[in-house]
Structure 1
Amino acid sequence: MVNAKKLEKAEAKLKAKQDKRMERDSVKSSGPPVLEEATASQAASKKETRMESSGKNKSYDVRIENFDVSFGERVLLAGADLNLAFGRRYGLVGRNGLGKTTLLKMIASRSLRIPSHISILHVEQEVAGDETPALQSVLECDTARESLLREEKELTAKVNAGRGEGTEGARLSEIYTKLEEIEADKAPARASVILAGLGFNAKMQQQTTKEFSGGWRMRLALARALFARPDLLLLDEPTNMLDVRAILWLENYLQTWQSTILVVSHDRNFLNTVATDIIHLHSQRLDTYRGDFENFMKTKEERLKNQQREYEAQQQYREHIQVFIDRFRYNANRASQVQSKLKLLEKLPELKPVDKESEVMMKFPDGFEKFSPPILQLDEVDFCYDPSHYIFRSLSVSADLESRICVVGENGAGKSTMLKILMGELAPVRGIRHAHRNLKIGYFSQHHVDQLDLNISAVELLARKFPGKTEEEYRHQLGSYGVSGELAVRPVASLSGGQKSRVAFAQMTMSCPNFYILDEPTNHLDMETIEALAKALNKFRGGIILVSHDECFIRLVCHELWVCENATVTRIEGGFDQYRDILKEQFRKEGFL
């Protein structure tokens, strides 16, 4: 029997749902994409809530238990625990798009409960440009010192003007005591040392913040955080904005850090030097390992092998018991034994097969054909944006189809400018650029996101850039760089930094270049993708010039090192080891080591 009224009601309900969905879809397609937002939820602990409200919680350890983090409808973490012991330095690692940056944002915004007496600083956005000198911008982070100095100035002015009420002297005495306690007189020197370590020379420290580019303003944001010394410092890919020299300085500086650090980084060497613990984000949970990154890799491999052995042993044991049950199921004399074996099977813990992360694959299609040299060269090139300041003088460099060259040097030394001259995007003031007529260059910019239309999907992006192919071909190209399934049809704006980089690689290689010029290609990529990129470049039969500060990546790919400094480029015979030694020697002379 069918209840007609109930059926009618159910059909009406279903139709209303469908209409609502169609309406939502039409809104999505007509306007700009509505980006999903991250949310966090956490099981309440009565004990912690009671301690927090009573003010009895004096610990600086961070314990966040049984919490979830979602991004739109995607669950990033489920029932996760995060324990950060005060004074330890944690490296947060995991694949692109799993939620590392989102987790930092949830902690920084206190969407996850952190005791209110713990100060948090998240280095995320660049400093706003205004008339404040760089050094003063850093000093202003110490709000207590600034407030005391301001009050001291006001009270002194009152006393000198004869407008005092008689209490100023006592208050000034208190202020001087407090300023002495916090060593306020040493603050400018400490701020200056931090800025110098991050590449700001004496002249730059006096420049206003509005005079700096975005990259330098990000360094300024990092300097302010280091100077402020919060209880919990959150860093998201801090080495992305730094050159090798500044990274070496930061590694040394953070090793003496007194409070807690949680850093997301893809730089193996940086994590090996800085981290005391590694937190691995995978399978919607967080696993913590004691030790540096190399120790984490060894322990993780051993743990996975043990889990696999346990799983296989249990499967064999289960099969052995099941064989006995199947054999004597209908034997009345063995009934009690069969029952006993069934109960034994029920009591066995449910072990799951090891959840292995899929291997990242990348392939750079060969556009190889034999050319007679020279392939690409600059001969006695001068270049400047402003005639009063030359970036290069008498620059002569050359590369061929076997080249594997890495360009290093301080930020602002002209690395990106040289790449653009090599590509022909910038014309020399004097001298000659020569490129073989059949040379086809693929370029990856460190600002590759600016070249992507964020409002459309990766598939649409390729279709517009390379029209005339089927959707399957575009999807296949994106899949070669790990952008598959629904990632390929989502708005590019909703992808993580590493996923956007992969889209940029897919776009760059679509036309099969025979020479690649890559400017900071490892920024935002996870370690597995960096290794896959290195393998793909090593298999590629063509020339490569790249700018990078990632020591591990440089060692994997490059055979030749060019140092960009003093308006020219010098080839270092001893490679990265020799360059690192040169920088350490400079540090010793400058008193940083």
Structure 2
Amino acid sequence: MTLINLRNFGVTLGAPLFSNLNLTVDAGDRIGIVAANGRGKTTLLNSLAGRLEPTTGDITRSRGLRIGYVEQNVPADLDEVSFYDAVLRALPKEQIASESWRVDVALDSLGVPAAMRERALSRLSGGWQRLAMLVRVWVTEPDVLLLDEPTNHLDLAKIALLEDWLNALPRDVAVLIASHDRAFLDAVSDRTLFLRQEQSQIYALPYSRARAALEEADASEERRYQKDMKTAQQLRKQAAKLYNIGVNSGSDLLTTKTKQLKARAERLEDAARPGYQERSAGAIKLANRGTQAKILVTLDDASVETPDGTLLFKTGKRWICQGDRIVLLGPNGAGKTRLVEMIRKAIADQITLGAVKVTPSLVLGYSDQSLSNLGQNDTPLGVITRLFELGEQRARTLLAGAGMGIDMQGRAIGRLSGGQKARLAMLVLRLTNPNFYLLDEPTNHLDIDGQEALEGELRANEASCLLVSHDRSFVRNIGNRFWLIERKRLIEVEGPEEFFEAARAQE
């Protein structure tokens, strides 16, 4: 049964985001929506939800269709409302008294603990807030569920919970998911829409297989284009040769043949279309100034504690060496960020901090998941010119290369999108020219191209780093060592897969 039908659908907001989109959403569809930052994913979801009218084309929804749009952020008027009451308020007022049982059923389906249900939304972690917004929508019993970056702020256990929950939904419910989480898309989608300015592509495949099919189609298109352009060039050369012979001999037949060859070349050139090239959302480049030191950081049975002195774990004797790309694994609350902060402080102060020793030649590149080194009231241009000895023109050129045009460079950082902030943070890292990176959730807000660019830069520059990430694809692609926090000890493991499986078992 068709629930939503888009015909020649397009939206222009200043510039065209997408056009000529033809998409049918049927009952039971699980559609992943993939595009670079700022290329229209959220706009498409808003259009499907009826919040935004298209610039061109038509949208048809089945009669009585209920669409649930899961917001990314908690509305301000719900900040001090309890988890339970926030969900209850999503019901129509006339149903609250008689249908409140539906709230309990929805909360149970996502395993929300009883104590959590009474806590104000503002006092919940970002992950629980995300799930609260999901339950608020689900309790209204939508026919179509729209999810915008649903795994942001979720730890691995909650991502596994969300995957299982989505896969257990009634098969007549359609789900459309805009996400940059490659492993998540593979787990929950069976169709993939690659949203493009023109000629968006959809495949009846989960993300990874769809991506391979898309890349082959783009490569085939590029090969066809190159072949057609080469043929057109040969036709023009042949026409030029016949033209010269025709002029010298006075042959009308050769002149006619010359015109025919030129016409064929023009038809080929007019019809030829190059293979698709993604417009960059901004380049991500890193640097590695190098160091002669073999051992960069030594942990001599360091104690990692909460602010009140409660022991979280002890590190044992550990070394971070040049070329190590160490992924720190552990459940939320285990102390991953506390260890990162302990090492950061030791490097910043260039001292031996307790049982943490750093080599004097270490230069740190640091980025945390909240991008706290970027002041919300500062501007991109202000940050770059203040932190680095660069002229304004050079700073503007670098910012433009990172995807921030002139209009964004003077805008308050707090008004930038998550993707723009993430690329600004990556530019700051590059200009710092470190020889050791500490990265806490570096892929938050980066689109798939950005994630893959970051992976490539870390590997190509042989960068040494310690990183924390809940992005399974990123962890698998980048790590060459893995430390796991388990039973209040830091141990080294061969790979991340057992931890991923254990996180799934926790949900």
Q: Same fold (TM over 0.5)?
A: yes
**Which deviations, in whole Å up to 9, do the C-alpha atoms of 1:476-530 show, x marking residues without a partner?**
65467x3366477463566542232111111123222222111110111122221
Change in Cα spacing, 1:247 to 1:339, as seen in structure 2 (3 Å) is same
Change in Cα spacing, 1:219 to 1:412, as seen in structure 2 (3 Å) is farther
Matched with 2:56 is none
Matched with 2:220 is 306
| 2:289 matches 1:367 | yes
1:443 shift after superposition = 1.3
**For 1:273, what is the secondary structure of its paired residue?**
helix
Residue identity in the other structure for 1:573: V
Q: Distance in 1 between matches of 2:231 and 2:481?
A: 56
Residue identity in the other structure for 2:174: T
Matched with 1:262 is 176
Matched with 2:194 is 280
Answer yes or no: is the 8 Å Cα contact 1:108–1:122 preserved in 2.
no
Answer yes or no: is the 8 Å Cα contact 1:459–1:489 preserved in 2.
yes
1:463 shift after superposition = 0.3
Alignment of 1:100-139 (within 5 A): 100-112=41-53, 113=59, 115=61, 117-120=64-67, 121-126=69-74, 128=76, 129=78, 132-139=81-88
Matched with 2:108 is 192
**Which deviations, in whole Å up to 9, do the C-alpha atoms of 1:182-241 show, x marking residues without a partner?**
xx75752441230x2xxx444323333343244432332133334444222222221221
Q: Distance in 1 between matches of 2:342 and 2:313?
A: 13
| 2:294 matches 1:381 | no
Matched with 1:253 is 165
State which drifts further: 396-405 or 314-323. Answer: 314-323
Q: Distance in 1 between matches of 2:307 and 2:86?
A: 28
Answer yes or no: is the 8 Å Cα contact 2:3–2:25 preserved in 1.
yes
Higher helix share goes to which structure? 1
**For 1:375, what is the secondary structure of its paired residue?**
strand
Q: Distance in 2 between matches of 1:110 and 1:358?
A: 27
| 2:467 matches 1:546 | yes
Question: What residue ranges of structure 1 are gaps of 5+ in the alignment?
Answer: 1-58, 153-178, 588-593
1:541 shift after superposition = 4.5
Q: Distance in 2 between matches of 1:419 and 1:105?
A: 38
Matched with 1:582 is 502
Q: Distance in 1 between matches of 2:339 and 2:184?
A: 27
State which drifts further: 349-358 or 239-248. Answer: 349-358
User: Which of 132, 152, 164 does residue 240 from structure 1 map onto?
Assistant: 152
Q: Distance in 1 between matches of 2:361 and 2:476?
A: 30
Answer yes or no: is the 8 Å Cα contact 2:70–2:133 preserved in 1.
no
Residue identity in the other structure for 1:134: F
Q: Distance in 2 between matches of 1:452 and 1:549?
A: 22
Q: Distance in 1 between matches of 2:502 and 2:155?
A: 14
Matched with 1:289 is 203
Q: Distance in 2 between matches of 1:335 and 1:542?
A: 63
Matched with 2:441 is 520
Q: Distance in 1 between matches of 2:294 and 2:494?
A: 28
Matched with 1:13 is none
| 2:357 matches 1:434 | yes
Task: Give me the identity figure in percent.
Answer: 26
Residue identity in the other structure for 2:107: A
Answer yes or no: is the 8 Å Cα contact 1:378–1:422 preserved in 2.
no
1:292 shift after superposition = 1.0
**Which deviations, in whole Å up to 9, do the C-alpha atoms of 1:8-67 show, x marking residues without a partner?**
xxxxxxxxxxxxxxxxxxxxxxxxxxxxxxxxxxxxxxxxxxxxxxxxxxx652123233
1:533 shift after superposition = 0.7
Matched with 1:483 is 403
**Which deviations, in whole Å up to 9, do the C-alpha atoms of 1:79-109 show, x marking residues without a partner?**
4334322321111112223232333334335
**For 2:119, what is the secondary structure of its paired residue?**
coil
Q: Distance in 2 between matches of 1:471 and 1:134?
A: 48
Answer yes or no: is the 8 Å Cα contact 2:72–2:150 preserved in 1.
no
Query: RMSD over aligned Cα, in angstroms?
Result: 3.5
Residue identity in the other structure for 2:86: S
Change in Cα spacing, 1:510 to 1:311, as seen in structure 2 (3 Å) is closer
Q: Distance in 2 between matches of 1:433 and 1:356?
A: 47
**For 2:193, what is the secondary structure of its paired residue?**
strand
Q: Distance in 2 between matches of 1:497 and 1:374?
A: 32
Matched with 2:453 is 532
**For 2:152, what is the secondary structure of its paired residue?**
helix
Change in Cα spacing, 1:539 to 1:134, as seen in structure 2 (3 Å) is same
Matched with 1:462 is 384
Residue identity in the other structure for 1:351: A
Change in Cα spacing, 1:209 to 1:497, as seen in structure 2 (3 Å) is closer
User: Which of 68, 88, 106 does residue 10 from structure 2 map onto?
Assistant: 68
| 2:27 matches 1:97 | no
Matched with 1:41 is none
Change in Cα spacing, 1:386 to 1:453, as seen in structure 2 (3 Å) is closer
Q: Distance in 1 between matches of 2:484 and 2:317?
A: 12
1:256 shift after superposition = 3.0
Q: Distance in 1 between matches of 2:238 and 2:38?
A: 47
Matched with 1:420 is 341
**For 1:238, what is the secondary structure of its paired residue?**
coil
**For 1:385, what is the secondary structure of its paired residue?**
coil
1:321 shift after superposition = 5.0
Question: What residue ranges of structure 2 are gaps of 5+ in the alignment?
Answer: 54-58
Change in Cα spacing, 1:127 to 1:283, as seen in structure 2 (3 Å) is closer
Q: Distance in 1 between matches of 2:37 and 2:134?
A: 23
Matched with 1:80 is 21
Alignment of 1:433-452 (within 5 A): 433-448=356-371, 450-452=372-374
**Which deviations, in whole Å up to 9, do the C-alpha atoms of 1:430-486 show, x marking residues without a partner?**
9644333433322101111x54345665333200222x3223543465467x33664
1:305 shift after superposition = 2.9
Q: Distance in 2 between matches of 1:117 and 1:124?
A: 25
Q: Distance in 1 between matches of 2:96 and 2:278?
A: 55
State which drifts further: 285-294 or 215-224. Answer: 215-224
Answer yes or no: is the 8 Å Cα contact 1:475–1:488 preserved in 2.
no
Q: Distance in 1 between matches of 2:489 and 2:71?
A: 33
Matched with 1:33 is none
Alignment of 1:133-282 (within 5 A): 133-141=82-90, 143=91, 147-148=94-95, 150=97, 188-194=104-110, 196=111, 200-257=112-169, 258=171, 259-282=173-196
1:293 shift after superposition = 1.4
Residue identity in the other structure for 2:108: S
Residue identity in the other structure for 2:466: I
Return the TM-score normalized by structure 2. 0.82
Q: Distance in 2 between matches of 1:431 and 1:222?
A: 44
1:553 shift after superposition = 0.8
Q: Distance in 2 between matches of 1:229 and 1:409?
A: 35
Answer yes or no: is the 8 Å Cα contact 1:88–1:276 preserved in 2.
yes
Residue identity in the other structure for 1:268: R
**For 2:43, what is the secondary structure of its paired residue?**
helix
Matched with 1:37 is none
Q: Distance in 1 between matches of 2:489 and 2:461?
A: 26
Residue identity in the other structure for 1:97: G
Change in Cα spacing, 1:319 to 1:543, as seen in structure 2 (3 Å) is closer
Alignment of 1:491-506 (within 5 A): 491=411, 492=413, 495-506=416-427
Change in Cα spacing, 1:228 to 1:379, as seen in structure 2 (3 Å) is farther
Change in Cα spacing, 1:401 to 1:479, as seen in structure 2 (3 Å) is farther
Change in Cα spacing, 1:190 to 1:565, as seen in structure 2 (3 Å) is farther
Answer yes or no: is the 8 Å Cα contact 2:399–2:405 preserved in 1.
no
Matched with 1:392 is 312
**For 2:390, what is the secondary structure of its paired residue?**
coil
